[in-house]
Structure 1
Amino acid sequence: MPRTILVVDDDPHIRHLLVFALAKAGLDTVEAADGEAALAAAVSVPAPDLVVLDINMPRLDGLEVCRRLRSTGGEVPILFLSSRDDEIDRILGIELGADDYVVKPFSPREVVARVMAILRRTAARPPAVAGAAGPIRHGRLSLDLDGWRACWDGIEVPLTVSEFSILRTLAAMPAKVFGRDAIIDRLHGPGFAITDRTIDSHVRNLRAKFAGVGGGDVVETRPGIGYRLGPCAGAPG
């Protein structure tokens, strides 16, 4: 079935450009010209499979749209567009739960490629883990690989695609320390151009979400090396 992409931008030229490029890639599209329309479309039936979301919009900007979607447990993947190549904006967007970020002016091909990569990660079945039958369990953490669900003491903790992928990577080999480059390769494939700071932001997001349910020890930092799965025994954030 074709995937549906919600394209949100207050500039009609940009919306039409993206709709045309996404349609050529075989994707259905829905348009929204402002943040309020985007929120309504994001929870429509059927809901979109991904949101391409401009940050700089009047009335209700993209960051606030993302914040509201995530505050209600919405897990739809989000690709941010911004006219400012500002690292603070990028980090804030990732910390709010965005899955990727493209700076204007952009190539429609690049946006389509990023969209397709996110959709593949969403639809892909996680690889089998040696010695694991069914969910991965470690301490009070459990991961349902087929359902892309993370739980702490049986309570689901809503994660974005990237956050779940990082946690799945760490949980599959709990004794291994993963460098940031290795995590990027697992998420996006070799050669994908994102910064170490983006991985750090995803990990901060993971920690904050699990700390809220008593799982402040879900990810462990090894200074100068990277990250590995924590003991998951339960600790304050």
Structure 2
Amino acid sequence: MPAYKRILLKLSGEALMGDDAYGINRATIVRMVREVRQVTDQGVEVAVVIGGGNIFRGVAGGSVGMDRATADYMGMLATVMNSLALADTMRQEGMTARVMSAISIEQVVEPYVRPKALQYLEEGKVVVFAAGTGNPFFTTDTAAALRGAEIGAELVLKATKVDGVYTADPAKDPDAKRYENITFDEAIARNLQVMDATAFALCRDQKLPIKVFSIFKPGALERVVRGENEGTLVHV
């Protein structure tokens, strides 16, 4: 039986690139969707927040010197594109997903309304939260923490290329050790970059645990929701 009933999965836009320089790698997004389906088939309610770095990377050169707020709004639109691609892939894999945007683009996706999002989750649909928080200067990490708290998620899962939080960069230090679990205060004291500071503080204040794991390990998501020793758990 799954250890968690409702989770918030935070995906980076870069995770969708595969080996490409930018954009969306079809094989990569299909594999991720199938990982999500493994847990939804077990009755786990899943919401997703996705970044836009893979799309925004393609226009990064033209954004140099741009006003920060304008650049952030462009990034929000990139997350909408990723969210639509993710939801469409889920549809093709036999799942039902709903994209809800923090900024109004009603011809494309429906606006974020908390009671509606909760209804979709209870109906077994995957809810994809697009456009971050709808405000510039806030990252999609913060959006994940915020939406996770709003929907009553039991766990925020930060899916990365690394299978947890380490004492040092494992790519540079072969002796780096992975933490199985660590408290928020310990992570701050050791200056471990789990999420951005605003998101991290919000999760700590709401007593919302964070699990950092590798989305590229087959079956890792399922092991996480079963409560197995996968990745690193950050808790109060």
Which structure carries more relative contact order (alpha carbon 8 Å, separation 6+)? 2
Name the TM tier (shorter chain).
0.3 to 0.5
Q: TM-score, normalised by structure 2?
A: 0.33
Larger radius of gyration: 1
